[in-house]
Chain A
Amino acid sequence: MAIDTATPAPVSSATPSPEKKTRREINILAGFGHLFLAVWALLIIAPLVWTFLASFKDNEEIFGDAWTLPATLRFDNWARAWTEANVGQYFLNSVFVVSLSTAGTMLLGAMAAYVLARYTFFGNRIIYYLFVSGLAFPVFLALVPLFFVVRNLGLLNSYVGLILVYIAYSLPFTVFFLAAFFKSLPNSVAEAAIMDGASHTRLFFQVMMPMARSGLISITIFNVIGQWNQYLLPLALLQGEGAEEKWVLTQGIANISTTAGFHADWGGLFAALTMAILPMIVIYAIFQRQIQSGLTSGAVK
């Protein structure tokens, strides 16, 4: 999707040089624009770097001047955050929940989208619009009844409940996007496979899923990021006895932030923040191209 992948090196053609006036205008504008780009990049990087540095400071340094370096690298902040403040636990909880819920979302979403996109049967349109209508409904509308649905099923404060809810709320987008994708796949391959005696199920798993790989990857990324960053649903559904051990990372960090004041452990808070942010930055750095195209392709279509 990024432009620099799309354009091969051009063969220089003899274009007439533009007039001086435009060239000067270009230089001024390009200079100003470049400055603006650099400033914005700095605005993004500065708070993150600053948090990283603050994770080595003690309380005195944190409440002193913001723009000083820590005297020493205090790794005990990190140790405290990981063990006492349970950031390690929260982190693993998040990984566990999101990997299961994304896998479930993709499998169920792809199955539903495939059937809705490529089979005609009674009720097809109704089910499709039922899914798509979910795109227009804010989660807050259903927050209270959802809490009681989950409670009555005995799934409150359990990962099973949370994962099922994640899957349910990710389905509209997933089905909508994948149905469009499955529709665009050619018929000839499917027909050939059916002629060869493949069952519908086999056709789906061995022919259609591999063909839709690029779409599946994009939507997977979309769901991973969305569910990883989810805050409201775990807040509403993971409460009660022993909920603290089950908390996901966003909840855990928000809680550490409120208790940092009581414990006067600000270094620990920044260490916890850094731990929450750093893995995301690393993963993003590795997959940045897929992530960017994955997140935006859904919007362009």
Chain B
Amino acid sequence: MRHGKYPFVIGFLAAPVTIYVVFVIAPYAQAFYMALTNWRGLSPGQFVGLENFTRLFQDEVFWKALRHHGILLLALPLITIIIALFLAFMLNVGGGSQKGMMAGVWGSKFYRVVFFLPQVLAIAILGVLFQSVYRPDGSGMINSLVSKAGLEPIGFLIDPKLALWSIVAVLVWQGVGFYVVLFSAGMSNIPKDIYEAAMLDGATRSSMFFRVTLPLLWDTLQVAWVYLGIAAFDCFAIVQTLTVDQGGPDGSTTVIGMEIYRNAFVYSKYGYASAMGVALFFLTITFAALSLRVSRRESVEM
């Protein structure tokens, strides 16, 4: 490039870089320092070293939240990916071969549109909606059917054993459609003649799925796993809007994001909330690095 490159480059970068540094980089940098102080908002906080972190590791609520993230981290990706894979397979190659072509089942276009729909609805709004779905008496959508069947109504959100799984169900309900479309896109990239050849060799539907589709989708699956895993470390909006006492009953659905919010904006424990933020950051980074390491394998050349 020639004359006048630098004024142009600087002119184009000035605004985005400034906004980004002020609102993203600076707060991130400050968070690490703030986590080492006992700042409560009024007087300037004192530097207390790692005291917040030692308190954090004795904090029962924090461990509870951590356990919930562990459950979410296993359940959310696993359930979502299995359901989405099955649905996507049915949509794309489930219709058997018609005229020598692998085809999706009838109505697959309609299904794809419907499945994806929850993705465009705000999770905070869905949280409010599902309060009525889960209501513990006959006025709740599910329990109305349960009591019609002559069974005891289920306390989805008020039973500490069930509450977290009720949250997982909403997240799966919302998320599956996105991954159906994602996997469909991946599956449509698989050359049809591979399926044809497999059919001619007498491969059954299931062996076709495990020997052809899965290996060729590996990269997409990896992306899905990381996405869902990172989502499992958040969940603030749904917990805040759907659960009893925002993380209850008795802290049985709380997540770190919820506790950060509570400590910062309810108790004004800014130093402590930042320390939680730092802990969450290291958890997320560790997860992403690990999952990318573990799932790295020879991708199949097409």
Binding site for B on A (CB under 8 A): 1-4, 6-7, 10, 12-16, 18-19, 22-23, 25-26, 29-30, 33-34, 36-37, 40-41, 43-48, 50-51, 54, 62-67, 108-109, 111-112, 114-116, 119-121, 127, 130-131, 134, 136-138, 140-150, 153, 164-165, 167-169, 171-172, 175, 194, 199-201, 204, 225, 228-229, 231-232, 235-236, 239, 249-251, 253-254, 256-257, 269-270, 273, 276-277, 280-281, 283-285, 288, 291-293, 295-297, 299-300
Contact = CB atoms under 8 A, between A and B. Distances in A.
Given A143-B273, A257-B131, A300 B182 contact: yes
Q: Which of B143, B192, B274 neighbours the largest number of chain A CB atoms within 10 Å of its CB?
A: B274
Interface residues of B, number: 123
Interface in B21-48: 21-28, 30-31, 34
Give the residue among A7, A13, A144 with the most B Cβ atoms within 10 A. A144
A18 B145 contact: no
Interface stretch (B71-79, B156-164, B260-268): B260-268
B99 A66 contact: no
B112 interface: yes
Contacts of B247: none
B144 A2 contact: no
B167 interface: no
21 contacts: A18-B199, A22-B199, A23-B96, A30-B94, A33-B94, A34-B105, A65-B139, A130-B21, A138-B284, A141-B277, A141-B280, A145-B34, A164-B19, A168-B22, A231-B123, A231-B240, A232-B261, A249-B122, A250-B125, A254-B124, A257-B241
A138 B100 contact: no
A215 to B, nearest CB: 16
A146 B23 contact: yes
B56 interface: no
Nearest to A120: B1
A263 to B, nearest CB: 15
A146 B113 CA distance: 38
B204 to A, nearest CB: 6
B86 interface: yes
B109 interface: yes
A62 B182 CA distance: 38
A19 B204 CA distance: 11
Contact of A111 (B13, B233, B277): B13
B248 interface: no
B19 A171 contact: yes
A153 B27 CA distance: 13
B168 interface: no
Nearest to B133: A47
B140 A66 contact: yes
Given A142-B277, A169-B23, A253-B125, 14 more contacts: A15-B196, A40-B176, A127-B17, A137-B28, A140-B236, A140-B260, A140-B280, A141-B280, A144-B273, A169-B24, A200-B1, A249-B125, A269-B128, A285-B113
Interface in B205-241: 205, 220, 223-224, 227, 230, 233-234, 236-237, 240-241
B115 A44 contact: yes
B80 interface: no
A258 to B, nearest CB: 9
Contact of B202 (A22, A147, A194, A281): A22
Contacts of A4: 104, 108-109
B12 A115 contact: yes
A121 B101 contact: no
Contacts of A204: 12
B233 A138 contact: yes
Nearest to A256: B128
B139 A64 contact: yes
